[in-house]
Structure formats: C-alpha cells, structure tokens
Amino acid sequence: MDKTLFMRACREGGPAIEQALRELDRSFFAVLYRGGLRALRDPDAARDLVQETFIKVWQRCATFRGDSELLPWIKAILRHAAIERLRQRTHEVPMENHEGLTEAAAECILEISIGHNPTPDQIVRRREHAEHFRRGWTRFLKEDPLHANVMAWVVEDGLAMEDIAQLLGRTPGATREFVSQCRKRARVYLADWYRLAFDHGDSR
Amino acid sequence: MNAGDDHRWLDVLAGRDEETESTAAQEAHALRELIRVQSVEESAAVAIVDPLREVELIDRARGAGLLPTRPTPARPTSSMAPAWRRWLFAPRGAFAAAALAVVMIAGLVRILLPPTETLRSVAGGTVRLESRDPPALKQRLIEELSASGVRVSGYERMGRVGIDADLPEPVSPQVRHVLERHHIPIPKDGVLVVEIDARTDR
C-alpha cells in the first residue's frame, strides 16, 4: 500500500478507512504475520496481533508524517504490541553467571570469518553447525522470546541502540544492559553451536 | 565483555559495521548470517488475499469504533402473554409491534449506551471526531483528561463542539490511554485540538 494513499484515507476518514484497511491487510498481513508468529509462536495469537496492529495503525494514522515508508512504521507498532504480550507471559531472569565463551572458543569464532573454499567435509560440518544453531535458536525463541526477537529485529532492520531503547521504553543505560543480556543469553541457548565451532573450527 | 564490546557486537549484528577483527565482531557476523537463514526458513505460507480475514478485520474495526456499526434487526420475544400474542400475530398488530420495538430499542440504545465516536480526519493539527452526542463526548473527554492531570477547555461555538488541551511532555500513560480509547492520535507538539461533529446513524 502506498503511503500517500494511506495518508489520504486517514485525512478523509469514514468509508475510505474500510477500503484502506483491506489494502493494508493485502499488502502487509503476510510479512507482519511471520514476524508475529516468530514472536508469539502461536498462529492464532499472531493473527490476532496483526489485526490488533492494523486497528492501532488507524487509531494513530494521523501521527504518520510520511517521513519514512509505511511498513517500518507499522512494524514498530506491531513490535510494541508483541513486546507487551511477551512481557505479560515471561519474567525477566538475570543471567549474569552464564558466561558462555572461553578464550579458546573466542579464537575459534575468529577463525570462522576467514573466507575459504569449503571442502566436502567442511560442508557437512556447516550443515551440522546450522542444525545445532537451529535447535538452539528455536529454544531461545521459545524460552526467552523477548531477547531472541529483539536480536532477530536487529538483524532484519538494523535497529540501533536508540531504536531498541524506544521500542522497549527503556533508558539508554537499561538498554545497554538489555543488549548485553541478549549476547549472554545467546551464548547460553546456542552453547552447543558455540562448542561445535570450538571443536571443529568452522560454523559457516 | 564490556559496554564498548557489546556496542560493536550490536553494530555488526545489525549489519552496520563490517569490522572482522574483534571477537565480538566475529561472533556477531556468524550470528547474523545464521539468524538471517532462520528467518527465511521460518517463513510461513500465508494467503495474500483472504476475504474471511478481511471481514474479521472490518468487524474488529467496527468494534473499535473506527467504522460505523451495522444496525441489528429487532426480533420479537416468545415469552409474551396470550392476549399480546393474539394481537401480535394479527397483520396490523405485528407491523405496529415491530415498528414500536424498533423505536423503543433505538431510543434505549441512544440513552443507555455510552457515545461511541469515530475518528474522521486530522487536518491542520485538528482532530475531527464523529459522535452521536457531541456535547456528551466533549464532557466525557474533559472529565477523563482532567482526571489525568491535563488542562482542558471545552467550547461550543458556531455550531461546533470541541476541546482544547495542552498535553504534558512526555505524554503520561493515563493520558495516552484516554486518547487511545477515543481514537485520538497523540499530537507531536503537545497541543490537542478536537472538534466533534454530530453523527447521523445510517
């Protein structure tokens, strides 16, 4: 959906909103649903989250100034709503004692980046690493969805520290701590992947 | 791990930094690559156009007051006295009863239900709402915003009803809640001007 059409419908209101809601659904439901499903891990809850987001989008349509594209703005609304739901479900568990990475493992990760032509053995190992990562990542998303999803959003949309602070409604200091926790928790949930990388020296 | 290290890790994870020397950067590069693969693998098949989903969304928008609600047809009840029933089933009686029921229900709905409003538009910093009872909505907004600590003044001039308010900076959760409940977007400059038009139910 084009942002100028969206803004016009917002100004006109009334019947224009109904048509615009349909357009929004057709344009963005699929992409938002995937994000919602990853965050909530429940198809019905994800569908409900996206529809709730579309309603909020219209309730706040006048605040959209057209400076950015429509989708990032809508995604931010969806993520706020997802965070609210995740906060209702989960408890913050500090994991200060879970330092997952040893010096040797750190060296190993350094090796990972060295580009080279993979041998068949390396290809098999990469698949193995990917499988370990997938399992750990799935568990991370399930058991600590807030931290895992913020990491996924960082990868998807390049969120900076300030974006995360805004999304979480936290101070800069608390956000830095949150990011640090993301890193620590990733090491815990993806420990097998880290260990494998250490043992074999290749995780790509 | 220190704060600078985490910052570097975040920048590489976000794809903003191409650095490959530090441990944090190497770790973030590897994570970024694998998370991106996971995102593609997780993609669920979803219909682009789904009429049922659209109907559900439109109904939800009506429920939220974004769109006018559809009138529901009135049904006669079965627990009436025999004399009434005889009268009711006579052709003229049935017609009169149905008309009376519609008038009574419409009147009751008007009296008992809280005024529901629809956001019509926002132009030049003025939020325009539609309501069945503009003065009642104005009063409600004044009371709810005042209770949330906002300075509000209401007006009725030139046939228009509305309110002006200066919102606190930042907007408190209570005020935000009041505004969201009435579908009023939060103004960026903190100056809220709302005009309420009378809605004629179709």
| CATH at residue A78 | 1.10.1740.10
Nearest to A13 among B33, B119, B188 (CB): B119
Quote the crossing angle between the two packed helices B134-147 and B173-181, to the nearest 10°.
170
Q: Which chain A positions have a beta carbon within 8 Å of B15's beta carbon?
A: 155, 158
Q: Which chain B positions have a beta carbon within 8 Å of A22's beta carbon?
A: 54, 57-58
pLDDT score of B26 more than 90: no
* Average pLDDT of the residues in B61-72: 77
DSSP string for B135-194: HHHHHHHHHHHHHTT-EEEEEEETTEEEEEEE--SSPPHHHHHHHHHTTPPPPTTSEEEE
Q: Which chain B positions have a beta carbon within 8 Å of A58's beta carbon?
A: 61, 66, 119, 183
The pLDDT, as a whole number, for residue A182 is: 94
* Contact with chain B for residue A47, Cβ under 8 A: yes
**Mean pLDDT: which of B22-31, B43-52, B93-102 is highest?**
B22-31
Contacts of B97 (CB under 8 A, 6+ apart): B76, B87, B88
| Whether residue A109 is found in the same domain as residue A147 | yes
Q: How far apart are CA B30 and CA B164, in angstroms?
A: 54
* Average pLDDT of the residues in B91-95: 62
A 125-154 residues inside an 8 A Cβ radius of B: 130, 133-134, 137, 151-152, 154
Nearest to A203 among B9, B30, B185 (CB): B30
Q: How far apart are CA A183 and CA A186, in angstroms?
A: 5
The pLDDT, as a whole number, for residue A97 is: 41
A 51-90 residues inside an 8 A Cβ radius of B: 51, 54-55, 58-63
* Average pLDDT of the residues in B120-127: 75
| Whether residue A160 is found in the same domain as residue A186 | yes
- Give the end of a domain, one of A60, A89, A118: A89
Please return the burial class of A65, using the count of CB atoms within 10 Å of its CB with bins 0-12, 13-18 and 19+: exposed
The pLDDT, as a whole number, for residue B162 is: 87
pTM for the full model? 0.55
Out of A169-173, B15-19, B157-161, least confident range:
B157-161
The pLDDT, as a whole number, for residue A198 is: 54
User: Is there a domain that residue A156 lies in?
Assistant: yes
The pLDDT, as a whole number, for residue A136 is: 92
* Contact with chain A for residue B61, Cβ under 8 A: yes
* Contact with chain A for residue B26, Cβ under 8 A: yes
Are A137 and B35 inside 8 Å of each other by CB? yes
> Token pair of A36, please?
């919602």
- Greater model confidence, B23 or A183: A183
Here the CATH number for the domain that contains residue A181 is 1.10.10
| Whether residue A62 is found in the same domain as residue A7 | yes
Are B30 and A101 inside 8 Å of each other by CB? no
| Whether residue A15 is found in the same domain as residue A55 | yes
Count of the separate structural domains present in chain A: 2
| Whether residue A126 is found in the same domain as residue A189 | yes
Q: Which chain A positions have a beta carbon within 8 Å of B61's beta carbon?
A: 17-18, 21, 54-55, 58
The pLDDT, as a whole number, for residue A179 is: 94
Nearest to B66 among A22, A58, A159 (CB): A58
pLDDT band at B81 (very low <50, low <70, confident <90, very high): very low
Nearest to B39 among A152, A160, A203 (CB): A152
Q: What value does the mean pLDDT of chain B take?
A: 76
| Whether residue A76 is found in the same domain as residue A115 | no
Residue B64, min C-alpha distance to chain A (Å) = 8
- Give the end of a domain, one of A63, A89, A115: A89
pLDDT score of B165 more than 80: yes
Nearest to A38 among B9, B42, B121 (CB): B42
Question: Is residue B33 within 8 Å of B39, Cβ to Cβ?
Answer: no
Q: Which chain A positions have a beta carbon within 8 Å of B52's beta carbon?
A: none
Are B10 and A154 inside 8 Å of each other by CB? yes
Closest chain B residue to the Cα of A148, Cα to Cα: B35
Percent of chain B with pLDDT strictly greater than 90:
10
* Average pLDDT of the residues in B135-151: 85
Q: Which chain B positions have a beta carbon within 8 Å of A53's beta carbon?
A: none
Structural domain for A192, as ranges:
103-200
| Whether residue A191 is found in the same domain as residue A115 | yes
**Mean pLDDT: which of A192-201, B47-56, B164-173 is highest?**
B47-56
| Whether residue A186 is found in the same domain as residue A115 | yes
The pLDDT, as a whole number, for residue A52 is: 95
| Whether residue A61 is found in the same domain as residue A24 | yes
Q: Which residue has the tokens 């409600």?
A: B140
* Contact with chain A for residue B31, Cβ under 8 A: yes
* Average pLDDT of the residues in B154-169: 79
User: Is there a domain that residue A34 lies in?
Assistant: yes
Are B121 and A10 inside 8 Å of each other by CB? yes
The pLDDT, as a whole number, for residue A116 is: 45
The pLDDT, as a whole number, for residue A98 is: 44
Question: Is residue A129 within 8 Å of A197, Cβ to Cβ?
Answer: yes
Are A22 and B1 inside 8 Å of each other by CB? no
- Give the end of a domain, one of A55, A89, A123: A89
Please return the burial class of A11, using the count of CB atoms within 10 Å of its CB with bins 0-12, 13-18 and 19+: middle
User: Is there a domain that residue A94 lies in?
Assistant: no
pLDDT less than 70: residues of chain A: 89-119, 197-204
| Whether residue A123 is found in the same domain as residue A184 | yes
- Greater model confidence, B90 or A177: A177
| Whether residue A117 is found in the same domain as residue A194 | yes
